[in-house]
Amino acid sequence: MEVSKYEIIDELYNVLKDRRINPVEGSYTNYLFNKGLDKILKKIGEESCEVVIAGKNNIKEDTIAEISDLFYHVMVLMCSQDISTDDILDELKKRSTKIANQKPDRKPIEVV
C-alpha cells in the first residue's frame, strides 16, 4: 500500500524514534543523537542559513532540498525532546484560529 504525502511525516518521525531506541551502526540519525543537543541545534542553524541562501538565489530545486534538510533536522530535535508531530499540528491548529495577529514592526535600534 502506498503511503500518502501526509503519512510520510509520521513515518519519518517513527523511523527517528526507532533509531533513538534501536541504534543502527553508521546511521546519520544516530550520529546526531549520540553527539547530543548542541550538535542537533548546530545543524538546524546551518540548515536554516542554507535555506535563506537558496531562497535568495531563487532556485526552486535548491530551496526545496534545503528546506527538506532543515525539516529533517528539526524532526530530529523534536524526537530528542519527545515533541510529537501531533504536538506541532495542535499548535498550528491553535494559531490558525487567530485573526489579525500581525506583530507591529520593531523600533529601529538607536545608537547612543
Residue 24 belongs to a domain with what CATH number?
1.10.287.1080
Per-residue model confidence as pLDDT tens digits over 43-69: 999 999 999 999 999 999 999 999 999
Domain membership of residue 13 as a residue range: 5-87
Please check whether residue 68 lies inside any domain of the structure.
yes
What's this model's pTM, rounded to 2 decimal places?
0.82
Our count of domains for the chain comes to 1
- Amino acid (one-letter) located at 44: I
| Nearest residue to 58 via CA among 68, 48, 66, 69 | 66
CA dihedral for 5, 45, 89, 34, sign (positive or negative): positive
* Residue-level pLDDT at 65: 97
Instruction: Flag whether 93 is in a domain.
Output: no
Is 58 a member of any domain?
Answer: yes
Is position 26 within any domain?
yes
The answer as to whether 99 is a domain residue is no
Closest by CA position to 15, among listed 93, 79, 87 = 79
What pLDDT does residue 1 have? 66
The C-alpha R_g of the chain, in whole angstroms, comes to: 18
Residues of the chain where predicted confidence (pLDDT) is lower than 50:
none
